[in-house]
Amino acid sequence: MEAVHTVLLLALLAAAHCATAQTVYKVCASERVQSYTCANLKKGNTEANCLHIADSAECARQLVLGNADFGVLTAEEVLLASKFVVNDDTRIIAEIRHEERLSEPFAFETVAIVRSNYNGLLANLKDKKFCHPGFSDSQLWTNRVLKHFERQVVPQKCNKLVPKIEEEYDNLGSFFSQACIPGDWSRNDFRDKQLKAKHPELCALCDNPERCSYNNHLGSHEAALSCLTDRGGDVAYVALQYTKDYFGLGDRKPRADPEQYRYLCPNGTMQVIKNNNKPCTWLRQPWNVVVARKDKSATLQNKLKTWLPKQTMAAFLRSSKDTWQGALAQILFSESNHFVLVDPPNDSTVLSTYMARGRNETVNPPPAEGQQCRPSVRWCVFTPLEVNKCEVLKQGAYTFGLEPSIQCIAGASMWDCMAAVRNMTADILAIDAEYSHLARKTFGLAGLIYQDSDNDRAYKVVAVVRADSGITQLSELKKKSACFPEYGGLAWTAWVDAARSRKLLPRKCPSSVAAASYLYRACAPGADDNIHNPDGDANTRTALCALCPDNKDNPDANKCAANSLTNGYFADKGALRCLNDKRGDVAVIDLRAITEIDDSGIVKVNADYREDEYRVLCRNGSVSTQLGLLVDSKCALSTGVVGEVVSRGPDEILSKDAALLLMELEYWFGYGAKHYESALNMFGQFRGTEDVIFKRAAAGFISIFDKENVLASEFSSLMDRNQGCNLEGAGSAVAAVPALVVGLVAAVVAARRF
């Protein structure tokens, strides 16, 4: 009987647990969401937890996969997601509207305002004066919105002799007699100044033509309207809300008489401003939304109304700040304290349908190749993940209105992509700095833009010896055995450069011959193939592969191959293994491969290596005074940027277009993005994987012409010195080049920019 009671008790407890257990829904939390917010979301009897994602593009993907249940997307992010998400997989369950504009169906609408005596038709804007709200970090509009009016009105005359951005402003200057288009026309300072010097008429209507800016006390849209009413403008492209305020259609005092102005419609007709409840607009931007998995959308829509009553976040947090609901409100509303959740339109819960109400131009596919003013930038990628990421970047660029467009070219390998760029079937390729010398030497490519990083994440090449080796100078490596990660890689190039500068290597070319003559033997993986060492002879190749280990499992395998499957000494860890096996006397390695940065930002050597077993030979010829691998940059053979994007040469028009496009991509999707930082993180993880196209360590791009950035300058100098056969190493030009020619080249480089 007692056993029966026990069974009944357990059954009752289990039933009670099942009755009280509740579903916990996973909400997307991008990198902008603070860790303590997600910790607070776990408080109490929570019904939601964070699913950490890199960006909103990944959130949409996780919704489709069923790993996330709901998340917030901006209108631009909805557009981007609609390109990759099957419409039947997700549903919009709420809009996020401003508390003072709950009855307005759109976050903003754009309008064109002209004087009442304008005679209509878009073609008649020729030689008129144009007032634009401008480009700035505080501007919430993307290029797609900011440039929509001019792209519809101004005839596009193609000129492939200049970069796309210059063609664009040439067309504007030819169409409008004067304008005020304030802010940065280009993300490249040199190009921006050049364009404004060429087209001062496009700044002539500004309050400050020299700076091409409106007065600081005016908002950009109000200033554009003031440019129209007070500075002789003929047409202004602005937000409808500011237009209503400016002309006193609400509670504000009018700054100009609305009877004197008209709405100019996209079909060329005009409408009165006063007493017009349905003005014609050029674009209509839907509100930000909460998106959920389709199978949970109805439940979550009701749950949200229970979790977050219809009040602003500011009001909600005053009463529920320390609850899990308060944490959820912070994730959904971000910093938008005056916004509330409302039901979406019943007929617009599908992503593409929702956006098509006002942004149909971006729901439609981009123009087919050959139908544009200039060709797309052909971006070569060579892994399935890189192809996927390239397609996301392509759609992101199109959604945000960045030009020229991107075409993703799938290569079989990195070498295949380098050949494609050389052979003009692709235009650009992103690579690790490890392969920059080979890109130049073997394939004739050139750096286009560098991937910048902080000093701790930059490459740092060091020459390592065993602590008990007795070797105390670089010069003592003569007739010693050396281990390199890869022939022609960073470590090889830096060591040859340092040895040349110390006058250690014989004056022979190519560098493989000089190194083989100087060393006893080496393992330089790839030294026996034509990609890494196209001009090496048989004897040199034998000497530079002699130290590589035989493959016991596959005796017929190439022991000098540049891959870890057949060569145990390949790559930086392999080179250090070669030293540890006491086959080599020195290993030249990039410290990135064996170090990591802990949570406190301290660089540490991986636990696999005992620092007291090593000592570093410094570039100046001496040995480090302390044991270990971590030395400063002055001791390293070389240090520099983590990677770069290469092309056929920075002077090609298409290359200039590509460089400027990459800077635009960084502005909108990089770490410094102001308003759309969570739309697409181009440098972060992609689908849980690091280093997809760009290095995870990259903080952004840096111009190849930037001489103030130490990492970029040192890397650029290393590549330049070793592109040909530099017999002198660092600090010396090739002896055969006259000083006058060097001066002329320097002058040309100083003059050329993106």
Residue 304, domain CATH: 3.40.190.10
Closest CA to 289 of 352, 332, 241, 347: 332
pLDDT class for 736, splitting at 50, 70, 90? Answer: very low
Binding-site residue positions for hydrogencarbonate: 491
Q: How far apart are CA 422 and CA 538, in angstroms?
A: 27
pLDDT at 574 over 60: yes
Q: How far apart are CA 580 and CA 512, in angstroms?
A: 24
Answer for the pair 669, 675: CB distance below 8 angstroms, yes or no: no
In terms of pLDDT, which residue wins out, 21 or 636? Answer: 636
pLDDT at 462 over 50: yes
The reply to whether 264 and 333 lie within a common domain is no
Closest CA to 233 of 110, 133, 108: 133
pLDDT at 355: 87
3-state secondary structure of 476: helix
The reply to whether 398 and 487 lie within a common domain is no
Binding-site residue positions for Fe(3+): 432, 459
The reply to whether 260 and 222 lie within a common domain is yes
Place of tokens 């006893």: 520
Under DSSP, the state recorded for 613 is G
Give the pLDDT mean for 164-183.
97
pLDDT at 245 over 70: yes
Single residue among 233, 254, 285 that ends a domain in this structure: 285
The reply to whether 277 and 178 lie within a common domain is yes
Q: How far apart are CA 10 and CA 359, in angstroms?
A: 59
pLDDT class for 536, splitting at 50, 70, 90? Answer: confident
pLDDT at 726: 67
pLDDT at 672: 74
At 436, which helix (H) or strand (E)? helix 436-441
**Amino acid letter, 169:** Y
Q: How far apart are CA 170 and CA 481, in angstroms?
A: 61
Q: How far apart are CA 534 and CA 323, in angstroms?
A: 66
The reply to whether 443 and 532 lie within a common domain is no
pLDDT at 19 over 70: no
pLDDT at 370: 59
> What percentage of the chain has pLDDT greater than the value 70?
90
pLDDT at 743 over 60: no
| ∠ CA 11-16-20, rounded to 5° | 150
pLDDT at 513: 94
pLDDT tens digits for range 647-695: 999 999 999 999 999 999 999 999 877 655 578 889 988 998 999 999 9
The reply to whether 131 and 228 lie within a common domain is yes
pLDDT tens digits for range 463-486: 999 999 999 999 999 999 999 999
Other C-beta atoms lying within 10 Å of the C-beta of residue 422:
16
The number of domains in the chain is 4
Give the pLDDT mean for 47-68.
92
- Is the Cα dihedral 601, 605, 611, 614 positive or negative? negative
Single residue among 576, 607, 639 that ends a domain in this structure: 639
pLDDT at 274 over 70: yes
DSSP 105-172: SSSEEEEEEEETT----GGGGTT-EEE---B-TT----HHHHTHHHHHHS-----TTS-HHHHHHHHH
The answer to the question of residue 584 being in a domain is yes
pLDDT at 217: 57
The answer to the question of residue 336 being in a domain is yes
The reply to whether 624 and 478 lie within a common domain is yes
Q: How many CA atoms lie within 13 A of 627 on its CB side?
A: 11
Q: How far apart are CA 187 and CA 135, in angstroms?
A: 11
Q: What are phi and psi of 728, to 5 degrees?
A: -105, -20
pLDDT class for 751, splitting at 50, 70, 90? Answer: very low
Where in the sequence is the domain holding 301, given as residue range(s)? Answer: 23-97+287-357
Q: How far apart are CA 644 and CA 432, in angstroms?
A: 7
| Residue 706 CB burial class (10 angstroms; 0-12, 13-18, ≥19) | middle
Q: What are phi and psi of 198, to 5 degrees?
A: -75, -30
C-alpha distances out from residue 241 to 56, 109, 179, 269, 392, Å? 28, 8, 22, 21, 32
C-alpha distances out from residue 457 to 363, 486, 670, 695, 702, Å? 40, 20, 17, 10, 15
Task: Assess whether the previous peptide bond of 525 is cis (omega < 30° from 0).
Answer: no
The answer to the question of residue 165 being in a domain is yes
Answer for the pair 721, 729: CB distance below 8 angstroms, yes or no: yes
| ∠ CA 93-96-101, rounded to 5° | 130
pLDDT class for 734, splitting at 50, 70, 90? Answer: very low
Q: How far apart are CA 351 and CA 83, in angstroms?
A: 9
Cα distance from N-terminal residue to C-terminal residue, the chain: 89
C-alpha distances out from residue 576 to 495, 573, 720, Å? 15, 5, 28
pLDDT at 364: 63
pLDDT tens digits for range 92-123: 999 999 988 999 999 999 999 999 999 889 99
pLDDT class for 578, splitting at 50, 70, 90? Answer: very high
Answer for the pair 185, 193: CB distance below 8 angstroms, yes or no: no
Q: How far apart are CA 51 and CA 68, in angstroms?
A: 7
Q: How far apart are CA 275 and CA 264, in angstroms?
A: 16
pLDDT at 343: 93
Answer for the pair 431, 439: CB distance below 8 angstroms, yes or no: yes
The answer to the question of residue 18 being in a domain is no
The answer to the question of residue 487 being in a domain is yes
3-state secondary structure of 600: coil
pLDDT at 345 over 60: yes
In terms of pLDDT, which residue wins out, 311 or 241? Answer: 241
pLDDT at 10 over 50: no
The reply to whether 29 and 62 lie within a common domain is yes
Average pLDDT, the chain: 89
Answer for the pair 72, 288: CB distance below 8 angstroms, yes or no: yes
Region label for 509, one of left (φ > 0), alpha (ψ between -120 and 50) or beta (otherwise): beta
Answer for the pair 583, 547: CB distance below 8 angstroms, yes or no: yes
Q: How far apart are CA 452 and CA 701, in angstroms?
A: 5
pLDDT at 69 over 60: yes
Single residue among 639, 672, 703 that ends a domain in this structure: 639
The reply to whether 535 and 612 lie within a common domain is yes
Answer for the pair 443, 431: CB distance below 8 angstroms, yes or no: no
pLDDT at 90: 92
The answer to the question of residue 294 being in a domain is yes
Q: How many CA atoms lie within 13 A of 36 on its CB side?
A: 2
Of 4-13, 231-240, 427-436, 716-725, the least confident: 4-13
pLDDT at 237 over 50: yes
In terms of pLDDT, which residue wins out, 675 or 552? Answer: 552
> What percentage of the chain has pLDDT greater than the value 90?
69
In terms of pLDDT, which residue wins out, 205 or 347? Answer: 205
The answer to the question of residue 620 being in a domain is yes
C-alpha of 382 from chain center: 18
pLDDT at 725: 73
At 493, which helix (H) or strand (E)? helix 490-501
Closest CA to 241 of 223, 259, 222: 222
C-alpha distances out from residue 672 to 62, 439, 667, Å? 25, 29, 7
The reply to whether 475 and 615 lie within a common domain is yes
The answer to the question of residue 57 being in a domain is yes
Structure tokens at 190: 């040199």
pLDDT at 675: 56
The reply to whether 115 and 205 lie within a common domain is yes
Q: How far apart are CA 70 and CA 91, in angstroms?
A: 9
Under DSSP, the state recorded for 344 is P
Q: How far apart are CA 534 and CA 546, in angstroms?
A: 18
Answer for the pair 233, 101: CB distance below 8 angstroms, yes or no: no
C-alpha of 76 from chain center: 17
pLDDT at 20: 47
C-alpha distances out from residue 603 to 256, 432, 599, 630, Å? 61, 20, 10, 8
Q: Under 8 Å CB-to-CB from 569, ≥6 apart: which residues? A: 483, 523, 525, 547, 548, 549, 575, 577, 578
pLDDT at 526 over 50: yes
The reply to whether 205 and 326 lie within a common domain is no
Binding-site residue positions: 432, 459, 491
Closest CA to 656 of 147, 191, 189, 183: 191
